[in-house]
């Protein structure tokens, strides 16, 4: 699967949304599609916004391309003017067979990456993506068990994941495991994310967009205030 490590990075550059250098440094190891987008209200024709803002958009996007390249990464830049950003993300994710979508949040430093693991279903693509991140950040594998009785299952899941990461070439010294018992797993994840620079999480719903704009990611991304890489389901079995 060539696209298991591909990520869509949407940036609303004209709205002043920015990618921190620390985040770019981590993402540089992935196959990045950098999407400069501008969402405009229905009153305005997309061509109209394009006429006026395209140059500005391209200029800012080029700066990010340079930034990625200076960190040793390669990016495919794309520019889209749209009335409906989620629809655009979805189209491009499908078109390019993208493995994950980044929800950008400010990230001053990315020394610690939280990887919440809910079960074995989505494990492979999440770990492949995590292992492909650049630099030597601490990786925290996190599981919230629903009850004390399920603690053992959780421990096993985390140790399987840790082994798999190590096999993929991640220094075991960087891998940390955390297990909490909680009947509100989303809350537990948000709490654990409090001082993390980046979150890598698998999508729960079939659609990436549901996750990005739906309840779960909203709460996690907002509470954490850090960027989130949402890994799409079932990449490895696709073809």
Partner 1 sequence: MSDDQPATPEATQADAHADPAVDIGETTDETTVTEEGSELERTIGLSGGLTIGIGTMIGAGIFVFPGLAAGNAGPAAAVSFGIGAVVALLVALPTAELATAMPKSGGGYYFISRGMGSLFGAVVGLSLWLGLVFATAFYLVGFGEYALAVLVEIGLPRPPDLGPLSIVAVLGVVCGVGLTALSVGGTENTTKLQNGIVSLLLGILAVFLTVGIVDALGFLGSESAPETFAPFGVGPILSTAALVFTSYLGFAQIATVAGEMKEPSRNLPLAMVGSVVVVGVLYVVTIFVSTSAFGSQELGQLGETAIVEVARSYLGLPGAIAILLAGLFATVSSANASILSASRALYAVSRDALVPKGVSRVNLRYGTPHLALALVGGPTVLLVGTGQTELLAEVASFLHLIMYGLICVTLIVLRRQSPEWYAPTFRTPGYPVVPVVGGAASIAMIAFMQPTSQVVGLFVMVGAAGWYFLYARDVRLKGGEMNE
Residue 91 C-beta: closest distance to partner 1, Å: 6
Q: What is the CA radius of gyration of the chain?
A: 18
Residue 86 C-beta: closest distance to partner 1, Å: 10
Q: In 94-131, which positions are buried (b, 16+ CB within 10 angstroms) versus exposed (e)?
A: eeeebbbbbbbbebeebebbbbbbbeeebbbbbbbbbb
When binding is defined by CB under 8 A, the residue of 4, 32, 57, 114 that contacts partner 1 is 57
CB of 83 or CB of 112, closer to partner 1: 83
Residue 56 C-beta: closest distance to partner 1, Å: 9
Confirm if 112 and 140 have CB atoms less than 8 A apart. Answer: yes
Residue 62 C-beta: closest distance to partner 1, Å: 12
Residues 17-56 that bind partner 1 (CB under 8 A): 39-54
Residue 39 C-beta: closest distance to partner 1, Å: 8
Alpha-carbon distance of 116 to 233, in angstroms, equals 15
Residues 164-203 that bind partner 1 (CB under 8 A): none
Structure tokens given for 232: 């799409």
Residues 72-131 that bind partner 1 (CB under 8 A): 78-84, 87-88, 91
Question: Taking the CB of residue 71, how many other CB atoms lie within 10 A of it?
Answer: 16
Residues facing residue 9 across a β-bridge: 34
Alpha-carbon distance of 222 to 106, in angstroms, equals 11
CB of 35 or CB of 129, closer to partner 1: 35
Binding residues for partner 1, rule CB under 8 A, total 29
Widest Cα–Cα separation across the chain: 61
CB of 57 or CB of 170, closer to partner 1: 57
CB of 14 or CB of 131, closer to partner 1: 14
Helices (H) and strands (E) in the chain, counts: 8, 9
Does position 58 interact with partner 1 (CB under 8 A)? The reply is yes
Residue 82 C-beta: closest distance to partner 1, Å: 4
Alpha-carbon distance of 91 to 127, in angstroms, equals 25
CB of 60 or CB of 204, closer to partner 1: 60
Residue 12 C-beta: closest distance to partner 1, Å: 11
CA 215 to chain centre: 16
Question: What does the binding site for partner 1 look like in residue numbers (CB under 8 A)?
Answer: 14, 39-54, 57-58, 78-84, 87-88, 91
């Amino acid at each position: 699967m060539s696209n298991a490590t591909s990520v869509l990075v949407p940036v609303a550059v004209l709205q002043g949304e920015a990618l921190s250098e620390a985040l770019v440094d981590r993402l540089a190891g992935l196959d990045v599609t950098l999407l400069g987008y501008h969402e405009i209200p229905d009153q305005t024709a997309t061509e109209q916004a394009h006429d006026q803002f395209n140059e500005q958009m391209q200029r800012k996007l080029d700066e990010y391309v340079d930034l990625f390249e200076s960190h040793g990464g390669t990016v495919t830049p794309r520019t889209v003017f749209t009335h409906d950003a989620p629809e655009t993300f979805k189209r491009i994710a499908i078109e390019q067979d993208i493995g994950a979508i980044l929800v950008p949040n400010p990230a001053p430093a990315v020394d610690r990456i939280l990887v919440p693991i809910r079960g074995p279903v989505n494990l492979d693509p999440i770990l492949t993506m995590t292992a492909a991140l650049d630099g030597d950040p601490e990786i925290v594998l996190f599981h919230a068990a629903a009850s004390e009785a399920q603690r053992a299952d959780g421990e096993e899941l985390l140790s399987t994941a840790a082994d798999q990461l190590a096999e993929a070439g991640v220094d075991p010294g960087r891998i940390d495991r955390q297990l909490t018992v909680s009947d509100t797993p989303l809350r537990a994840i948000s709490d654990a994310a409090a001082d993390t620079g980046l979150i890598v999480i698998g999508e729960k719903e079939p659609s990436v967009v549901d996750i990005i704009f739906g309840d779960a990611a909203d709460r996690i991304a907002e509470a954490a205030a850090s960027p989130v890489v949402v890994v799409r389901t079932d990449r490895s079995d696709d073809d």
